[in-house]
Amino acid sequence: MHKALNDIFPAPPAGLDPAKLDTAHIPNHIAIIMDGNGRWANLRGKSRLMGHKAGIEAVRESIRCASDMGVRYLTIYSFSSENWKRPEDEVKGLMNLFAQTMLAEVKELHKEQVRVMTIGSSEELPKKTRDAFSAAWDMTKNNTGMTLVVAINYGARTEILDATKRLMNQAYDAAVAGQDKKMLSETLNEASFSEQLYTAAIPDPDLLIRTSGEMRVSNFLLWQIAYAEFVCTDVLWPDFDRYELLRSILEFQSRERRFGAL
């Protein structure tokens, strides 16, 4: 824990006791599917982009709270490879919002020793957005605090296909060099396959949170969440605050993780 519980959770709502948190068993890696911005906006008669802007505060609070609790990795699903199908003005607004937010937040994140990285196909992002995330990585890459992983233009099936293609190319190059085919197949295992994923060197999530009451994984970290605990909440993403994060972690801590064992 980087801060005292009373400092992290100064005004808990009735019925929620931060003292029940087991500070010795904070999830090492939390992944979040941030859902409900559009519905939040519709309920208030606002545009979907206004919902996305409202969701930025929830992102900010989740990052600060997770870092203060000692979470080592926080992965947020910002924009899927399927999201390009949304209306053009919404996509353009999102890309501008990503760039503006990253540029506005990176200095404070750097001050707090947060390391910022992205996973996904960055080549397809607008230059302004791509440059903002690249600058954030350059500034924070040597930080030693929590790693914030922003999944942007990300799709797990594409990630797995890309990893397979890299392995096939390696196998071809090795075959051309005269290496034994049996030896090559024997060296392929879960660990060596994971090294080809976008998340190489990042531990698998312990906890996956999804907001807005939906019960699906939406092509997110399909390989990596094999043994993650799932917590789904009806709360729409812009209303997700540090106390909702606390509830999710308390639920996580109430479970017995067996990893396939009896």
Nearest CA among 8, 22, 5, 2 for reference residue 255: 22
Catalytic residue among 7, 17, 35, 219: 35
In angstroms, how far is CA 239 from the centroid of its own chain?
Answer: 18
Find the catalytic residue in 28, 83, 96, 219. 83
Assess whether 96 carries a catalytic annotation.
no
Question: How far, in Å, are 17, 92, 98, 117, 197 from residue 151 at the CA level?
Answer: 32, 17, 12, 9, 13
Q: Looking at residue 221, what DSSP letter applies?
A: S
Structure token pair of residue 248: 């999710």
DSSP state of 255: S
110: tokens are 């750097």
83 labelled catalytic: yes
- Which residue, among 42, 150, 143, has the nearest Cα to 101 in the 3D structure? 150
- Strand residue runs (E) in 122-221: 147-154, 207-210
Catalytic residue set: 35, 83
